Amino acid sequence: MQIELQQIHKRFGDVHVLQGIDLKVDAGTIHGLVGENGAGKSTLMKILTGYLSRSSGEILIEGRRADYTNPAAAAGLGIGMLYQEPQDFPPLTVLDNFIVGRDSHPDNDRGRQQQRLSELGAQVHFQLNGSSILGSLTVGERQQLEFLRLLGRNARLLILDEPTTGISDRQKERLFTALRLIRDQGRTILLVSHKLEEIAALCDRVTILRHGRVAGEETAPFHIPRLLELMFDQAPESFLQTDRHLPGERLICFENVSASGERTGLKACSCRIYQGEVVGLAGLSGSGQGLFLRLAAALQQPLQGSIRFHDSPLAGQDHRAVRKMGGCFLPANRLEEGLITGFSLVDHFTLARGCSRNDAWTEATAAISRFNIRATPNSPAESLSGGNQQRLLLSLIPETASLVLLENPTRGLDVASAKWVWDYLRGHFRNQGALIFSSAELEEIMAVADRILVFFDGRVVRDLPIDQVDYQDVASAMTGN
């Protein structure tokens, strides 16, 4: 099936996420869609599958306008999506899951359904035991079942979102073989991935998105550095910082730390961070950076290895201990993890400082003018905009903090606010301690950090002083090259 997108725009409030996307995918091809975080890939996929409506633009299927407004209608037109996280029912058996997914073919004869499952499996060389409990299967096997469900529903356009995350190399090979097989049957595949070598191995054509626009289209065979160049902005000409310095004493120290969480966990991470350093954690989202920050804050305990802060081990301690020694953590989900809904600025200061309401009022008033928070001392946290919530969180960091851990600290802030935030953080905390932050934007890390740790799949794959960083090298390390 041939599908064509014409001038797709999507706005969320003031944010213009997709700015006129044109994309044509021919029948019987595998088409890749790549771009860094926030480039607009997910939004575009959600529009294609009917989960989101577009602000403007056209979708043509086989040259005809298709106006569907919900996922069921999209599925009816033959559009199927394989999600990164399997959308299934782990307590049920494989066969039960297969039957649930085929509600357009109501057939309660389990024998016939089992036969259909085996036939579909045989077509693409997947072998699944219908009576196994789904929850006992690997992610790769669950994905295979989902794939078969889509085939069983006669999906003619398959959209795959990061299909190789969390599956074994063998399963990956099988999936790729299956994808080539069904392409040769005439089905159309749209593959969304960060992993450029996979895109290169599989796709006939690739569209690169950047900042909500099409940055380019390439046809196989691909030249990976060319793709990287299109994916990422050029490295900034000059860095903001000029003042290099010698790090002071050891502040926090990871030794062979492994932990579970996020998508990938953290695997055998060792590193030392010194006083006076500003360390940027780079990587595709969910590669272990957030976990690293939460481990350092003792909000989570490692499975293995040890973490020492100011030379005292954090094993068995919670965040209160880190806080007492001058550690501080600002989460990316400001309202979910950082602030308390229904609580005013004064309430937050009362809690954070452990002071009287009068003192908290004075502090809140001072913070409003110093941090330029657009709110009154009595405004509830949830009434603040994202940027103002971040300013409030920043203003709550104790003056004496020696380790400030920040998760995507400038997410959602405009350029001027982001600059203000960094001027404040670097000016204030770098002399008395260290700053560790994660960011989805490599440019930001290059601009403000002294040192970069690059995460891929739960491992630190680069640990470099910023002046020794080769932009292309880091960009490709982030995607596992």
Q: Which residues bind another protein (CB under 8 A)?
A: 299, 318-320, 323-324, 329, 331, 336-343, 347, 350-352, 354, 356
Q: CB of 69: closest distance to another protein in angstroms?
A: 20
CB closer to another protein, 63 vs 354: 354
Of residues 45 and 328, the one with the C-beta less far from another protein: 328
The DSSP bridge partners found for residue 281 are 438, 453
Closer residue to another protein in complex, CB, 86/331: 331
The span from the CA of 321 to the CA of 308, in Å, is: 12
* Rounded least distance, CB 435 to another protein, Å: 17
- Closest to another protein by CB, 249 or 336: 336
**307 forms bridges with which residues in the sheet?**
254
Could you tell me the smallest distance in angstroms from the CB atom of residue 404 to another protein? 12
CB of 422 to another protein, least distance (A): 21
SS3 assignment, position 236: coil
Please check whether residue 227 is in contact with residue 196, taking contact to mean a CB–CB distance below 8 angstroms. Answer: yes
Choose between 75 and 393: whose C-beta lies nearer to another protein. 393
* Closer residue to another protein (CB): 133 or 340: 340
d(CA 131, CA 150): 20
SS3 of 332-369: CCHHHHHCCCCCEHHHHHHHHHCCCHHHHHHHHHHHHH
Among 439, 435, 432, smallest CA distance to 454 is for 439
Q: How far apart are CA 306 and CA 238, in angstroms?
A: 38
In the complex, least distance from residue 320 CB atom to another protein, rounded to whole angstroms: 5
At its nearest, how many Å lie between another protein and the CB of residue 294?
10
For 303-343, give the DSSP string: SEEEEEETTEE-TT--HHHHHHTTEEEE-SSIIIIIS-TT-
In Å, what is the CA distance from 374 to each residue of 388, 389, 395, 460? Answer: 6, 9, 13, 39
Q: Judged by CB, which is closer to another protein: 180, or 353?
A: 353
Q: Position 199: which residue type?
A: I
The minimum distance between CB 333 and another protein, in angstroms, equals 9
Closest to 193 (Cα-Cα) out of 162, 222, 165: 162
How near is the Cβ of 337 to another protein at its closest, in Å? 5
Output 336 or 399, the one with its CB closest to another protein: 336
Q: For residue 185, report the phi and psi dihedrals to the nearest 5 degrees.
A: -80, -5
Question: For residues 359 and 443, which CB has a smaller minimum distance to another protein in the complex?
Answer: 359
Q: How far is the CB of 355 from another protein (least distance, A)?
A: 8
Min separation Cβ 75 and another protein, Å: 28
Closest CB to another protein among 380 and 480?
380
Contact present, 451 and 464 (Cβ < 8 Å): yes
Asked if 356 and 432 touch (Cβ cutoff 8 Å), the reply is no
DSSP per-residue codes, 421-480: HHHHHHHHHTTTSEEEEE-S-HHHHHHH-SEEEEEETTEEEEEEEGGG--HHHHHHHHTT
Phi and psi of 304, rounded to 5°?
Answer: -145, 160
